[in-house]
Structure 1
Amino acid sequence: MLLLCPMLVLGFLYYSSGKLHLRSLGQRPQVDKDISFWDMGRLVVYDKQGFLIKPDGKLPLELQYKYGNLSKGECKPGFSEFKMISLYPKFVKPAPMFLDLNFKRMSKISNYPPPFGIKTQENMITVILDETKNYGLGDELDRLSCKRCIIVGNGGILFNKSLGSKIDEYDVVVRLNEAPVKGYEKDVGTKTTMRITYPEGAIQKPDLYEKSSLFVFSAFKPPDLKWLKHIVFKEKVRGTDGFWKSVARVVPRNAAEVRILNPYFIQEAAFQFIGLPRNNGHMGRGNIPTLGTVAITMALHNCDEVAVAGFGYDLNNPHSPLHYYEKLKMSAIKDSWTHNISKEKEFLQKLVAAGVIQDLTNGI
Structure 2
Amino acid sequence: MRNMKPAHKLLFVLCPMLVLGFIYYSSGKLHLHVWGQKPLFDKQGFLLNLDTRLPPELVYKYGNLSEGACKPGYAAAKMSAIYPKFSKPASMFLDRNFKRLAKVTNFLPPFGFKTQERIIDVILSGTKNYGLGPDLDSLSCKRCIIVGNGGILSNKSLGSRIDEYDVVIRLNEAPVSGYTRDVGTKTTLRITYPEGAIQKTERYEKDSLFVFSAFKPLDFKWLRQMVFKEKLQGTEGFWKSVAHSVPRQPSEIRILNPYFIQEAAFQFIGLPQNNGLMGKGVSNMLTMKVFLTLHACHPVVGDSQNQNMNLSLPIIGAL
Q: TM-score surpassing 0.5?
A: yes
Q: Structure 1 vs Structure 2: percent identity of aligned residues? A: 65
Deviation, 1:246, is: 0.7
Q: Which residue of 1 aligns with 2:83?
A: 88
Paired positions, count: 287
Q: Which residue of 2 aligns with 1:263?
A: 258
Residues 270 and 289 of structure 1 are in contact (CA less than 8 Å); yes or no, is this contact kept in structure 2?
no
Deviation, 1:60, is: 3.0
Deviation, 1:88, is: 0.3
Q: Which residue of 2 aligns with 1:217?
A: 212
Q: CA RMSD in A?
A: 2.7
Deviation, 1:226, is: 0.3
Equivalent position amino acid for 1:292 in 2: L
Q: Which residue of 2 aligns with 1:305?
A: 299
Q: Which residue of 1 aligns with 2:232?
A: 237
> Is the aligned partner of 1:174 residue 2:169?
yes
Comparing both structures, which one devotes a greater share of its residues to strand?
A: 1
Whole-Å separation in 2 of the counterparts to 1:154 and 1:250: 22
> Is the aligned partner of 1:203 residue 2:203?
no
Whole-Å separation in 1 of the counterparts to 2:30 and 2:145: 33
Deviation, 1:277, is: 2.6
- RCO higher in structure (CA 8 A, sep ≥6): 2
Return 5+ residue gaps in structure 2 as ranges: 1-18
Equivalent position amino acid for 1:276 in 2: L
Residues 80 and 306 of structure 1 are in contact (CA less than 8 Å); yes or no, is this contact kept in structure 2?
no
Equivalent position amino acid for 1:85 in 2: S
Deviation, 1:161, is: 1.2
For residues 111-149 of structure 1, give each alpha carbon's deviation from its aligned partner in whole angstroms, at most 9, with x where no partner exists.
111111000100000000011011110111111111111
Q: TM-score, normalised by structure 1?
A: 0.73
Q: Rate the CA distance shift 1:113–1:299 in 2: closer, same or farther, 3 A.
A: same
Equivalent position amino acid for 1:361 in 2: S
The one of 286, 292, 295 equivalent to 2:286 is 292
Q: Rate the CA distance shift 1:203–1:123 in 2: closer, same or farther, 3 A.
A: same
Q: Which residue of 1 aligns with 2:122?
A: 127
Q: Rate the CA distance shift 1:305–1:231 in 2: closer, same or farther, 3 A.
A: same
Return 5+ residue gaps in structure 1 as ranges: 12-32, 308-351, 353-357
Residues 128 and 251 of structure 2 are in contact (CA less than 8 Å); yes or no, is this contact kept in structure 1?
yes
Residues 269 and 289 of structure 1 are in contact (CA less than 8 Å); yes or no, is this contact kept in structure 2?
no
Residues 37 and 45 of structure 1 are in contact (CA less than 8 Å); yes or no, is this contact kept in structure 2?
no
Residues 111 and 118 of structure 1 are in contact (CA less than 8 Å); yes or no, is this contact kept in structure 2?
yes
For residues 322-364 of structure 1, give each alpha carbon's deviation from its aligned partner in whole angstroms, at most 9, with x where no partner exists.
xxxxxxxxxxxxxxxxxxxxxxxxxxxxxx9xxxxx8441669
Q: TM-score, normalised by structure 2?
A: 0.83
Q: Which residue of 2 aligns with 1:277?
A: 272
For residues 226-255 of structure 1, give each alpha carbon's deviation from its aligned partner in whole angstroms, at most 9, with x where no partner exists.
000000001011242110111101111000
Q: What pairs up with 1:9-88 in 2 under 5 angstroms?
A: 43-88=38-83
Could you say what secondary structure the match of 1:46 adopts?
coil
Q: Rate the CA distance shift 1:224–1:147 in 2: closer, same or farther, 3 A.
A: same
